[in-house]
Structure 1
Amino acid sequence: MTAALPIVVGVDGSEPSLRAVDWAADEAALRGAPLRLVYASLWERYEGTSLADDLHKPSEEITADDIVDTAERRARQRRPAVTVSTGVLVEEPEYALVRESREASLLVTGTRGRSGLAEALLGSVSLTVAGHAHCPMVVIRGNHDNQAAHPVHGRVVVGIGEEGKESAAVRFAYEEARRRKVPLEAVRAWRTPARETTDHPLMSGELVRLHEQQAMDALESGLQSLPTDIEAHRRTVEGHARSVLVAASYDADLLVIGARRRPRTFGLQLGRVAHGALHHSACPVVIVPEPE
């Protein structure tokens, strides 16, 4: 039997990264996958106070080994049955994590903003890696109660694109809903283009119905090949896709979005929908690479 690829977590000693360890340990237990904890930096100096307080050391004395050892202990305490390994890489974290994603089933990071905005903004490392990872990447947003094994809201949400085709994101979302034994909610946002608006009330109503029907058709097309062994809900919402999906995240345990590669560019190029979700989602966000 082929060994399962690991779930890789980028750790840096910050509280958001330790929350990512918690989530990833739960996910590894669900999948029966090993967990790999990676710290990557060109600098030895630790930037933060949370880990320093826990270890009763000045922050300038915290080393890379302290960071991964703390993350490893946390993962083992949370999920003793999960196999855990660690790595310390002396290089820029963006490059290290993208390379690690080549041999991972899932890449997980926390949010980490600068200048004290850890929860308000997505850290530059997570945003860069999300745009180039070779496997699905999860950014852990939301509160401490967002756990893979113990769903809070009891649903996985996936965004359906305009093309309405079956996608890697839909398949990923289905598998996550099946593992968690929760419903899958597929959401398709739609809008009537400004150039098609008209002052005539009958014509205007017909245009609205047309675009709403197109959204419903895209939903059906995107889900038509899914197995029927889970509960699946379909929902169309008028509005900007990024706003619609962020709103849906408030009642979800996981928000799944696809990102398509572009020819002759490195990795993924994230659009406005993915950017909006990564910055503002109320729950963990998964960016799934979509093959051409």
Structure 2
Amino acid sequence: MDLPLVVGVDGSEPAMRAVDWATDEAAPRGLPLRLVYASLWERYEGAALAEGLDRSAEQIMADTVVEAAARRARRRDAGVKVTTEVVPDDAVGALLREGLNATALVLGSRGRSGIAGMLLGSVSLTVAARAHCPVIVLRGSHDNRAGAGRHRRVVLGVGDPSHGSAAARFAFQEAAERGVALEAVRAWRWSAHEPAGHPVEPGEPARRHEQGAVELLDKALSGAAAECPAVDVRRRTVEGTARTVLLDASTEAGLLVVGVRRHDSHGHTGMQLGRVAHAALHHAACPVAVVPERV
């Protein structure tokens, strides 16, 4: 049985855009859609008990939120199987458990309790840092055209090949499912001591740095490329910081994929994102998929 796409919903517009996006992704793949509301979100916001009612104000709000999200998904595509769940837990704990049996978790950039001007909500950031499955955070798409990005290329930020290939495989599969090109990007620098944006000097040392990036790129893609030979792969090495290079690439992308290392210790996974993934989640111009790499 195919695992569902799980969407965290809380009644906010970013969460509803996540429902739109996930519905568009689930439909062509035949995946079920699971909409999850963590009931303690309302408690944290100070919802009072409704006097004289069988259900609390919190319970009423929870049912209203999941029902509205389910209606929105069904209106967008009636063929997608939609289930809902109200989980009596905090948002992070509920979503991390849901991620154990999910194709991916899909989250809005911030929820109803987000403060105007915040770059990314704490729930989305924490779940992306700790989940055992890919987490897709809906950066961009603020004009309610969540599905528009399906026809734009997938961008993969290529890190150290020794840290795993899960992100590369995920990116290839996404490109294949969407029928779009995959742009694999590896940033390189002339010197770790040069300030960001400092132009490299021409010559043999610079060529060696660039050639090293080309070799790392080829190594990182070899396994996933063999599994998805039909995908149009465009390899690109760019001088600059990985953060700047990937954020620039995200402006014309439908999805930006980054891998993050997970160090499991005694059955617990700590918060590990790294500077590049952190920057992408805060600043990318398109949805960002954070894919765990086990090391």
Normalised by the length of structure 1, the TM-score is 0.86
Question: Cα distance 1:79–1:267, how it changes in 2: closer, same or farther (>3 A)?
Answer: farther
Q: Check if 1:158 corresponds to 2:161.
A: no
Matched residue, 1:31 = 29
Question: Cα distance 1:30–1:166, how it changes in 2: closer, same or farther (>3 A)?
Answer: farther
Give the count of matched residue pairs.
271
| Contact 1:166/1:221, CA 8 A, preserved across alignment | no
Secondary structure, counterpart of 1:224 in structure 2: helix
| Contact 1:141/1:284, CA 8 A, preserved across alignment | yes
Runs of at least 5 residues in structure 1 that lack an aligned partner in the other structure: 48-58, 198-202
Q: Which moved more, 1:129-138 or 1:159-168?
A: 159-168
Runs of at least 5 residues in structure 2 that lack an aligned partner in the other structure: 46-56, 196-200
Question: Cα distance 1:64–1:162, how it changes in 2: closer, same or farther (>3 A)?
Answer: same
| Contact 1:16/1:110, CA 8 A, preserved across alignment | yes
Aligned partner of 1:78: which letter? Answer: R
| Contact 1:153/1:251, CA 8 A, preserved across alignment | no
Matched residue, 2:272 = 269
- Aligned-residue offset at 1:83: 0.5
Q: Check if 1:100 corresponds to 2:101.
A: no
Matched residue, 2:283 = 280
Q: Check if 1:116 corresponds to 2:138.
A: no
- Aligned-residue offset at 1:112: 1.1
What does residue range 1-292 of structure 1 map to in structure 2 within 5 Å? Answer: 3-44=1-42, 63-112=61-110, 114-117=114-117, 120-143=118-141, 144-147=144-147, 150-151=148-149, 154-163=152-161, 167-194=165-192, 205-225=203-223, 226=225, 227-264=228-265, 266-292=269-295
Question: Cα distance 1:91–1:249, how it changes in 2: closer, same or farther (>3 A)?
Answer: same
- Aligned-residue offset at 1:262: 1.6
Question: Cα distance 1:220–1:43, how it changes in 2: closer, same or farther (>3 A)?
Answer: closer
* Residues 179-230 of structure 1: CA deviation (Å, up to 9, x unaligned): 1111000000111224699xxxxx9722211111100111111122313212
* Residues 236-271 of structure 1: CA deviation (Å, up to 9, x unaligned): 111111111111000000000001112425255100
| Contact 1:138/1:285, CA 8 A, preserved across alignment | yes
Aligned partner of 1:94: which letter? Answer: V
Question: Cα distance 1:43–1:28, how it changes in 2: closer, same or farther (>3 A)?
Answer: closer
Aligned partner of 2:174: which letter? Answer: E
- Aligned-residue offset at 1:154: 2.1
Q: In 1, Cα distance between the equivalents of 2:77 and 2:44?
A: 26
* Residues 126-181 of structure 1: CA deviation (Å, up to 9, x unaligned): 0000011111010001023242xx54662000011133776111111111111111
Q: In 2, Cα distance between the equivalents of 1:26 and 1:219?
A: 31
Question: Cα distance 1:214–1:125, how it changes in 2: closer, same or farther (>3 A)?
Answer: same
Identity %: 56
Secondary structure, counterpart of 2:203 in structure 1: helix
Aligned partner of 1:130: which letter? Answer: A
Aligned partner of 2:281: which letter? Answer: L
